[in-house]
Structure formats: C-alpha cells, structure tokens
C-alpha cells in the first residue's frame, strides 16, 4: 500500500515519473497539490479517484447490509470513509517523511495514488539502522491509528454510522500495517529485511538483492493466494466465475504486478547506484581551449583541433573564463559562415552554478547538475584552474549506459 523511495523517484513498486535525465530540472507534477506539511508537497494522483470510487462502491454495498435505513446516503458515508482512509495513509507517509527529515534526507514529495501512497526520498540512508527505522515508522503509525480507532469504537453506540466508520478504519489501518510489514520489496517490511541483511553482511546490495527476490516471491503469492483466500472465505458455493471472485482476481493481479515491478526497480536502482561512481566529472569532461571573445569561430575550431580539444571557453583579458561556446550553436553555423562569426555570439555566460569541481562524481555530481540545469558546465580544479567543459548530454549518455549495463 505505502512505501518509501530513496532515488528521487518512486522506488520499488511505486511506478516511475517521467524521466528527466541528469542535469535537467525535475517535474513538479504528480497530481493535485493538496498542501505542504513540513514543507513537503502532497499530491493526489488522478488514479486515486479511481480507487476512491471503487472503495465508495464496495463499502456502500456493505453498508446496505449493515445499515439498510441509510438508503442512497450510504454512498456519501462510503465516500467519507474513502477520504478518511487515505488521510490515514497520508499519516503513514508523513511518518516516513518526518523520519527522513530527522535524518537530514530531503523528501521530494508525498503522493497518494491507486494502491496507497509514497514518500519520495531523495537520498539513501547511510546506515542499516536508519534504514530500518525509516521503514518501520510507517507501519507503526498505522498500527497506532488502528488502536486509536478501536478505542473510539468502544465509546460509540453499536450499529451506528460512527461505529461502522470506526470499525472500517480500524480494520483498514491494521491491514495496511500488516501488509506493509511483509518482508519483500517494495514494501516497508522489505526495506526492514534489507536493513537486517545489510547489517549482517556489511553490504547494502546484498540486502537489496535478497529483499527484492523475496518481493517477487511475495508477488506470486499474492497473485495466487488472494483469489484462493476469497474463495475459501465466502463464495465457495458460487465458484470462481462469480463477480466477487473475478474482482479478487483482478485486484490480486494488479497488486502482484505492482509488487513485482517495484521489486525489480529496487534491484535495478541498487545496481545502478553501485555504478554511479563511474560517472565522474573528470572522466567525462571534454578538453577545452581558451579563446578571446572576438576570435572567429573557424579560428577557434582550428585551435581546438590542433590541441585535440572538443570545447571552447571564452576568456577575458586576464585569462579568466567568462563564457562557454555552446556546442549546439556551433553546429548551427554553416562552415562558410564560420570565419565571420565571433565565438562570443555563440557563447553562454558562466554563472556560479555552471562551475563544477573536477572531483565531483556519482550521486553528488548528478545532484549538482539537477540543481543547476545547463547544457554545458565549466569544470575546474580546486585551485580554480580550468580543466575543461562538461556536457550534460555526455553525462546523460553515460547514465543511460550505466543503467543498461548487465549485472555482474
């Protein structure tokens, strides 16, 4: 139902937002913005309205049997239940968010969607202990909410609308807690299992592999087990062709697909994270030659070819870099025009965010490029000396190649 993510996107089992690529600004979308608790935006995805309608219909049918005197008003009560249930899911996600912020891990957003919610946490936890706590607080809050609704149930009159709502919220939050504690990614229990194996083995990747494959086994169990449980629990006489059995089978298939996909995504992102150190600013930087602002483009390119360089940096009279000649602009100038075009007309001024330290690598490099999007960056040594020019396109190609690289 609900899980967390440490990749700047929904992790395991949560689907993926549109790819932004390294060095590009991320989309702020994700549905309807409902608020910013603790400074973190909360979105309701369009798919939520589908599940809200389904909950309203199913719960309304139950109310017809329990409180037939409600008539058509039962669907208003059911809609209130759907909203209250997802408010409980939001509390579950806020628990993850508060824990992440306590560990100084930035949270991109919370999203409520078809099968629960997700807290999109930007970075990995540094220790297995923190990973365990970060995963456990969500189910813990759901258990506490279930207890609170149970206590409320003790003080209201049996057979009333408040009693039915409190009972439904108590059971639903208990189901959320128990389901999320199942030991397989992308569920919180899978992250807890990952943390335990990480602690024992000393390798986060070992924990991820074990928890991901457990998640895949869990997906198969859900696909087969949910329809069988429903069959054993209420419609054995009607058989597998009944409406209830078909609904159970459909929900099982959707949930199993989400878990299977999420487990695979967890494994893929973990393997990618192991390869991220290969994305080094120094290794990906193009050698550059300095040119004065009034240098003809043809002359600048001649100097670059002689030096074996692939980029041009415009410098002032003191030799300090002031602009980068854009590769796309060079390509757009016909060859016969290049002797008459000054490099300064094709250059982009260098801002503070466009200076990248040569030693940046891995997630630090990607985060820096995301924070200051540009097409090219000036790469400098710690001394301030020009090392070269880093193209965002080169980083993206290296990133895609790392994702496509088969597991060893």
Q: What is the DSSP string of 288-333?
A: EEEEETT-BHHHHHHHHHHHT--EEEEE-TTS-EEEEE-HHHHHTS
Q: How does pLDDT run across 335-381, given as a tens digit for each residue?
A: 999 999 999 999 999 988 899 999 998 878 888 888 888 899 999 98
In whole angstroms, what is the distance from residue 286 CA to residue 318 CA? 23
Look at the chain and count its residues.
408
| Least confident among 70-74, 205-209, 236-240, 306-310 | 236-240
Q: What is the pLDDT of residues 25-36, one digit of tens each?
A: 334 446 899 999
Does residue 252 register a pLDDT over 90? no
pLDDT in tens, 48-94: 888 889 888 888 888 888 888 888 888 999 999 999 999 999 999 99
CA–CA separation, 307 vs 247, rounded Å? 68
**CA distances for 21 relative to 272, 273, 357, angstroms:** 14, 15, 20
What mean pLDDT do residues 141-155 have? 96
Q: What percent of the chain has pLDDT over 90?
A: 54
Q: Where is 379: in which H helix or E strand? A: strand 376-380
CB 387 within 8 A of CB 324: no
DSSP H or E run through 349: strand 347-349
pTM (2 d.p.) = 0.69
- In the chain, helix, strand, coil percent, each to 5? 60, 15, 25
Nearest-angstrom CA–CA distance, 131 and 125: 6
Q: DSSP labels for 8-75?
A: SS--TTS-------TTSPPP--SSEEEE-GGG--EEE-HHHHHHHHHHHHHHHHHHHHH-GGGGGGHH
> Residues 164-200: pLDDT tens digits?
999 999 999 999 999 999 999 999 999 999 999 999 9
Q: Could you tell me what percent of the chain has a pLDDT over 70?
A: 88
Residue 103 half-sphere exposure toward CB, CA atoms < 13 A: 23
Contacts of 22 (CB under 8 A, 6+ apart): 279, 365, 366, 369, 370, 392, 395, 396, 399
pLDDT(237) > 60: no
pLDDT at 196: 97
pLDDT of the residue at 268: 79
Query: Which pLDDT score is estimated for 71?
Result: 86
Start-to-end C-alpha separation, the chain: 32
CB 193 within 8 A of CB 180: no
Does 186 sit behind a cis peptide bond, omega within 30 degrees of 0 on the bond before it? yes
CB 294 within 8 A of CB 342: yes
């Amino acid at each position: 139902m609900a899980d967390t993510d440490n990749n700047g996107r929904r992790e395991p089992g949560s689907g993926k937002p549109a790819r932004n690529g390294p060095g590009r600004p991320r989309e702020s979308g994700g549905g309807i913005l409902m608020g910013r608790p603790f400074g973190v935006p909360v979105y309701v995805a369009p798919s939520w309205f589908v599940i809200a309608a389904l909950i309203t219909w199913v719960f309304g049918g139950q109310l017809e049997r329990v409180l037939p005197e409600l008539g058509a008003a039962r669907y208003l009560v059911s809609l209130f239940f759907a909203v209250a249930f997802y408010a409980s899911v939001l509390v579950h996600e806020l628990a993850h968010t508060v824990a992440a912020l306590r560990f100084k891990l930035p949270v991109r957003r919370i999203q409520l969607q078809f099968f629960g919610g997700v807290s999109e946490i930007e970075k990995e936890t540094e220790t297995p202990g923190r990973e365990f706590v970060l995963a456990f607080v969500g189910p813990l809050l759901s258990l506490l909410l279930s207890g609170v609704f149970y206590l409320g149930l003790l003080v209201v009159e049996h057979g009333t609308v408040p009693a039915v709502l409190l009972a439904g919220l108590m059971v639903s939050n208990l189901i959320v807690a128990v389901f999320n504690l199942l030991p397989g990614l992308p569920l919180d229990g899978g992250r807890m299992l990952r943390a335990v194996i990480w602690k024992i083995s000393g390798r986060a990747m070992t924990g991820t592999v074990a928890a991901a494959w457990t998640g895949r086994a869990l997906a198969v169990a859900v696909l087969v087990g949910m329809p069988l449980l429903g069959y054993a629990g209420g419609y054995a006489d009607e058989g597998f062709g009944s409406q209830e059995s078909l609904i159970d089978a459909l929900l099982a298939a959707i949930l199993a697909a989400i878990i299977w996909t999420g487990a695979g995504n967890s494994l893929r992102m973990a393997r990618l994270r192991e390869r991220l150190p290969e994305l080094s600013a120094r290794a990906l930087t193009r050698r550059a030659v300095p040119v004065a602002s009034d240098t003809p483009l043809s002359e600048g390119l001649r100097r670059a070819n002689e030096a074996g360089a692939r980029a041009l940096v415009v410098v002032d009279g003191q030799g300090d870099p002031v602009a980068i000649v854009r590769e796309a602009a060079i390509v757009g100038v016909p060859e016969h025009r290049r002797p008459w075009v000054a490099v300064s007309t094709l250059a982009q001024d260098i801002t503070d965010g466009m200076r990248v330290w040569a030693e940046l690598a891995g997630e630090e490099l990607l985060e820096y490029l995301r924070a200051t999007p540009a097409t090219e960056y000036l790469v400098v040594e710690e001394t301030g000396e020009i090392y070269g020019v880093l193209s965002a396109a080169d980083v993206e190609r290296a990133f895609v190649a790392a994702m496509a690289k088969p597991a060893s």
